[in-house]
């Protein structure tokens, strides 16, 4: 789905391993985790369960019921994912080291009020939660008028993860993937 906000077009929905719905002017709950924090067989089991439930929900004729079931499915999936991360007995736990967690926390706060409004975050031993609302970024003048667009969640996370991985790997004297490539994000309900 392509949407337009203030004259700028961007993709609000895309799918890699997980579906991503990223409308502008939304509040997001994002979870990103260390590479290798969950075993491949666990991830595969989750994928199979998610796809089976997606297929079941797609079969509903009633659109209102379909939306309700989809929301419930997202919550259930997230709760399973979170429980697995919290109970993970294997994989890296570098974020439990104060200096590494400090790099991540400083980077999250640095981008606050520049790219997003950071509403909350927590750093766990193998993953990070953050709740944020994207901000508008000024663009160069276009034919005598200022144009702005929303930062994209994907770009914000790519930059954040790149920088923190670089700094953390230096401190840990290691090379290789630090963060899992794909993050889990969902639009946080407004209450």
Beta-bridge partners for 29: 131, 186
What share of the chain has pLDDT > 70, as a percent? 78
23 — pLDDT class (breaks 50, 70, 90): low
Distance CA 113, CA 27 (A): 14
Question: What's the pLDDT score for residue 184?
Answer: 81
Check pLDDT > 70 for residue 64: yes
What number is the average pLDDT over the span 114-134? 95
Question: What's the pLDDT score for residue 149?
Answer: 64
Question: What's the pLDDT score for residue 121?
Answer: 98
15 — pLDDT class (breaks 50, 70, 90): very low
73 compared with 122, residue with greater pLDDT: 122
Give 44-57 pLDDT, tens digit per residue.
998 899 899 989 99
Write down the pTM of the prediction: 0.78
Rounding to the nearest 10 degrees, give the CA dihedral for residues 14, 16, 18, 22: -30
Question: What's the pLDDT score for residue 135?
Answer: 87
Question: What's the pLDDT score for residue 74?
Answer: 83
Q: Identify which of 2, 22, 17 has the alpha carbon closest to the alpha carbon of residue 48.
A: 17
27 — pLDDT class (breaks 50, 70, 90): confident
Check pLDDT > 60 for residue 147: no
189 Rama class: left (phi>0) / alpha (psi -120 to 50) / beta: beta
- Please state which architecture CATH assigns to domain 1-37+92-191: 2-Layer Sandwich (3.30)
Residues 6+ apart with CB under 8 A from 111: 118, 156, 160
Rg (CA), the chain: 18
Per DSSP, helices labelled H in the chain are 40-58, 63-87, 98-111, 153-172
Domain boundaries, the chain: 1-37+92-191, 38-90
């Amino acid at each position: 789905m392509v949407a337009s906000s203030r004259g700028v077009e961007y993709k609000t929905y895309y799918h890699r391993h997980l579906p991503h719905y990223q409308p502008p002017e939304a509040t997001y709950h994002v979870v990103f985790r260390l590479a290798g924090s969950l075993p491949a067989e666990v991830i595969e089991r989750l994928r199979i369960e998610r796809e089976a439930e997606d297929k079941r929900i797609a079969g509903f004729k009633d659109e209102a019921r379909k939306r309700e079931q989809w929301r419930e499915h997202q919550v259930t999936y997230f709760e399973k994912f979170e429980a697995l991360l919290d109970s993970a007995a294997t994989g890296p736990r570098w974020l439990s080291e104060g200096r590494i967690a400090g790099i991540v926390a400083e980077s999250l706060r640095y981008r606050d009020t520049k790219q997003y409004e950071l509403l909350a975050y927590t750093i766990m031993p193998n993953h990070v939660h953050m709740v944020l609302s994207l901000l508008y970024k000024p663009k160069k003048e276009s034919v005598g008028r200022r144009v702005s667009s929303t930062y994209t969640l994907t770009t914000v996370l790519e930059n954040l993860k790149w920088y923190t991985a670089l700094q953390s790997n230096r401190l840990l004297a290691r090379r290789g993937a630090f963060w899992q490539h794909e993050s889990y994000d969902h639009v946080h309900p407004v209450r």
